Structure 1
Amino acid sequence: MASEVLKKGGEVTSEVWGETRGFDFEGMRFGMKAWRASASSARESGALSAPIVLVHGFAQQASTWDKVALSLSRTGVECFAFELAGHGKSARPTVGDVPGREAFDLDFQAQALLAFCEAVTHVAGRLPVLVGYSMGGRVALQAARLVADDLRDGGQIGRIALRSSAAFAPCGRSGRLDVAGGGQRDTAATSADDAAQVPEARAPFVALVLESAGLGPADAASRGALRERNFAWAARVRGEGVSAFMDWWAGLPLFESQQYLSADQRERLRASRLANDAESLALSFEQAGAHAMSSQGESIRALCELAAKGIPVSYLAGELDAKYCKVASTLQAESQGAVSCRVAPAAGHNIHLEQPEAFGAILEEVVESCTPKPAAP
C-alpha cells in the first residue's frame, strides 16, 4: 500500500536552487529540478497557487519541461520536475546490479513520486497538481491507483515521515543547503494528543493531468504481448547501443509529427536522448513498461474514484497522435465523463514540446481551478 511506503519517508538534498538536485527515497537517488515563481503577482491578493509536479517521458530528463515551467513560473506557479530511475541525474545501475534493477520497478517509482509530492507540499505550502507525460504518465497513473486503493481502504496517506523535509529551503551563503537534522518529522513517535490533530486521509496531489499516457493492458493476452515487445526492445537497446537504438526510436510513427520541429529543436531532442545509457533504458522497458501497469479497467476505476472525491483528472492527447487520441476516446466513454479528455490541435505525442504555449495554458487552467479565491475584504 502506498501509505505504508510513504510513512517510511523520503529525503531531499540539494545544492544550488534552480538546478537539478537529488531526492532520496528508500536508498534510491532520484534527480529533480525546480523553477520557483518569479512574478511579482505570485502571491497576488493573498492567493497561493498550487505548485506543479512534472514527470518526463522515456529517455528524457527534467529539462524537457524548461519552456513550459519557465513560462508558468513567470505567472506565479512553482514547478518541480521529478526524474525517473536511470534518467537525468537519477542513479544509474551497473549491469547485474540487482538493487538498482529493483529501483526501476513501476510501483517503487510510483511510491517515490508520491513521497516527492509530499515534499513539494511541505515546501510550497499547497498540494501540487501532478502532471505525467507518456512513461511519466504511466508512473503518475500507477501512483494514482495506489492512492485510490489507500483511500478506498481507509488508509492514512497524510501520516508520513519526511526526513530533512526542509531541504527545499533557500540556500545559505555557502550556496549549499544544511539539511542535517533539519525539518525531521516522524509520525511513528506521534503522541496521542498529536495523533488527534493528524489530518484525514487525503491524496498527496490536488489534481492529476495525464499527457499521452497508456491506461494499462486491456486483458491477459494484451499484457503478454506488451511484455514480449518491451523485453525485445530492451534486448535491442542493449545489443545495438543507445545511438543506433535512438535513431530507430525517433523513426517510429508515434513521433512522426516531430519532423516539423525546428532543426535546433530536433538536435536538442536527439542530444537529450543520447544522454542516456543502454542498461537504464533496458531496465525501464523491463521493469516499468506498460505490461507492468494495472489493468485498464483498474486504472479507469481509480481515476473515476479520485474524480468522485473532488480530485480533478484530465487526459490530454495530440490531434496528430491517432493512437492516444483513441485512448482518450476510450477513457472519455468508460469514465462517463468523470475524466476531462482533451485533444490538443496541431500536436503529436509530445504536446508540451510541440505546442508548449497551448500546453502551458491548459496547466494554468487546472492550477486556477485548484486555487481557492481570496476571501473578500
Structure 2
Amino acid sequence: MANEVLKKGGEVASEVSGDTRSFDFEGMRFGVKAWRASASGAREGGSPAVPIVLVHGFAQQASTWDDTAQLLADAGAECFGFKLAGHGAGACSAGGDPAERPGFFDLCFQARALLAFCRIVARDAGVAPVLVGYSMGGRVALQAACLAAGDLRDGDQLNRTALRSSAAFALCDRTRRLDVAGACQRDVAANAARMSAAAPFSALVLESAGTGPVDDAAREALRERNFAWAARVRGEGVSAFMDWWAGLPLFESQQHLPADQQERLRAGRLANDKESLALSFERAGAHAMPSQGESIRALCELAAKGIPVSYLAGELDAKYCKVASTLQTESQGAVSCRVVPAAGHNIHLEQSEAFNAILGEVVESCTPKPAAP
C-alpha cells in the first residue's frame, strides 16, 4: 500500500485498498468509497469522463450513492463517495474519541478536507471532478465552494478552459488515472501549482441543500434548533432519535420507497455514534454556514469563472423548492435551478433516473473532448 502526501493547508495523505479508501487530513481520517469506471463505458476517442466526488447527507454513509455511482461508473465515470466526519463505524479512527477532537466536525474543517481530496482526485485524473453534495453534504460542498470563490477573489484570474487544456493536465493511462496513491507520469509540480490557482472542481451540483441563514436572527434560531437536536440524540440514543428523525415531514415521501431501500436507509442511520451525530449538529449545522447572501455571491462568482453550478430540489419538498426559487432569482439565472417531479428531499433515491440524467449532462459538459486527429 502506497502513500502520497500533498502539502496544501495542512498535511494530506491518502491510501488505496480495493474499493474502500481512507483519506487523512490534519489528523482526521475520512472514509472514501470508490467505484471504478467500466472499460465498456469508455468514450469515443478513449477520453474518460470527468470524475465525480459525491458527499452524503446527515446520518448517512457513502453507500447511499451505490446505485447512482454504479450507473455513472458503467458509463465511464470514476466516482468517489466522501464520508463526512463521525459518520459510520470507525469514522473517527484517526482522532479517537470524537468528544476529544470536536474541531474535526467543524463545517469549515470538513470543507477544507473536501477541497484537499478534490485536488488529489484532479491531480490523478488530469481534470477536476464534478462535486456533488446532498443535504448536509451539500452544506459542506457549498462551504467548500465559498472557500474556493474566496481564493479566486483574492487575485486568481485563471480561466477554466485554459486549465482543462493545460499540458500539465494531460490524461494518464486509463488503468491508472485515478489511483489516488499512484505516481502518474507527468509534471506533478506544475499540475499542483495550477490546481492551487483554481477551484479543484469542474462543476458543483447541490441537491436539497440550504444556502445559509438570511440574517443574524435566523442564524440564532437555527443554532438553538440544532443544539436542541444535539441534546435530544445524546439523551435518547441513536435508535429512538432516528425513529423521530425519519418521521419528520421532510422525509415523508421516503415512505413510498421500496421496503428494502427503507431498511437500508434505517440501517445506515443506526450505524452511527450519538456523540458524533450531536457534534455534527453543533459544529456543522446550518447555523455554521455563511449567510445566504455570501453563499449566493460565491456561487455566482464561480459561475462567472466558468464553473457550472446546479441546484436540484424535489417537487414534493416545499422547503427546498423555495430555496431553489430564491436562488434562481437572486443569482439572476447564473445558477441552474431545477425542480425534479415526483421527488422529495432525497432525489437520487426517490427519482434516480431523473437525477442520473441531470448529473450525466453536467459530467458530459465538463468532460474534455478528445483532440482532433
TM range (shorter): 0.7 to 0.9
Q: Give the structure 2 partner of residue 163 of structure 1.
A: none
Q: Give the structure 2 partner of residue 97 of structure 1.
A: 99
Shift of 1:178: 11
Whether the 8 Å contact between 1:22 and 1:90 is mirrored in structure 2 is: no
Whether the 8 Å contact between 1:6 and 1:114 is mirrored in structure 2 is: no
Shift of 1:311: 0.3
Q: Give the structure 1 partner of residue 215 of structure 2.
A: 219
Match of 2:17 among 15, 21, 46: 15
Give TM-score scaled by structure 1 length: 0.86
Shift of 1:236: 0.0
Distance 1:25 1:156, change over 3 A: farther
Q: Give the structure 2 partner of residue 73 of structure 1.
A: 73
Q: Give the structure 2 partner of residue 142 of structure 1.
A: 143
Q: Which moved more, 1:349-358 or 1:327-336?
A: 349-358
Q: Distance in 1 between matches of 2:209 and 2:244?
A: 21
Long gaps (5+) in structure 1: 159-165, 171-176
| CA deviation profile, 1:244-289 (whole Å, cap 9, x unmatched) | 0000000000000001011111111111100011001000000000
Shift of 1:201: 1.7
Q: Distance in 1 between matches of 2:269 and 2:193?
A: 47
Q: Distance in 2 between matches of 1:196 and 1:138?
A: 26
Q: Distance in 1 between matches of 2:126 and 2:74?
A: 18
2:76 matches 1:87 = no
Shift of 1:90: 2.7
What is the percent sequence identity of the aligned residues? Answer: 72
Q: Which amino acid aligns with 1:321?
A: D
Q: Give the structure 1 partner of residue 224 of structure 2.
A: 228
Q: Distance in 2 between matches of 1:33 and 1:196?
A: 24
Q: Which moved more, 1:262-271 or 1:111-120?
A: 262-271
Distance 1:195 1:304, change over 3 A: closer
Q: Distance in 1 between matches of 2:180 and 2:142?
A: 34
Whether the 8 Å contact between 1:6 and 1:111 is mirrored in structure 2 is: no
> How do 1:211-290 residues align onto structure 2 when only pairs under 5 Å count?
211-290=207-286
| CA deviation profile, 1:12-33 (whole Å, cap 9, x unmatched) | 01322x2x22000011100001
> How do 1:353-364 residues align onto structure 2 when only pairs under 5 Å count?
353-364=349-360
Q: Distance in 1 between matches of 2:71 and 2:192?
A: 41
| CA deviation profile, 1:273-308 (whole Å, cap 9, x unmatched) | 000110010000000000000000000000000000
Q: Give the structure 1 partner of residue 107 of structure 2.
A: 106
Q: Distance in 1 between matches of 2:196 and 2:137?
A: 28
Whether the 8 Å contact between 1:127 and 1:204 is mirrored in structure 2 is: yes
| CA deviation profile, 1:207-234 (whole Å, cap 9, x unmatched) | 0000000000000000000000000000
In structure 1, the residue corresponding to 2:41 is in which secondary structure?
A: coil
Distance 1:263 1:217, change over 3 A: same
Q: How many residue pairs align between the two structures?
A: 351
Q: Distance in 2 between matches of 1:23 and 1:133?
A: 20
Shift of 1:125: 2.2
Q: Which amino acid aligns with 2:268?
A: S
Q: Give the structure 2 partner of residue 161 of structure 1.
A: none
Q: Distance in 2 between matches of 1:294 and 1:199?
A: 24
Shift of 1:205: 0.2
Q: Give the structure 2 partner of residue 350 of structure 1.
A: 346
Q: Which amino acid aligns with 2:321?
A: C
Shift of 1:8: 2.8
RMSD between aligned residues = 2.9
Q: Give the structure 2 partner of residue 30 of structure 1.
A: 30
2:372 matches 1:370 = no
Whether the 8 Å contact between 2:99 and 2:275 is mirrored in structure 1 is: no
Long gaps (5+) in structure 2: 1-5, 164-171
Whether the 8 Å contact between 1:56 and 1:136 is mirrored in structure 2 is: yes
| CA deviation profile, 1:294-329 (whole Å, cap 9, x unmatched) | 000000000000000000000000000000000000
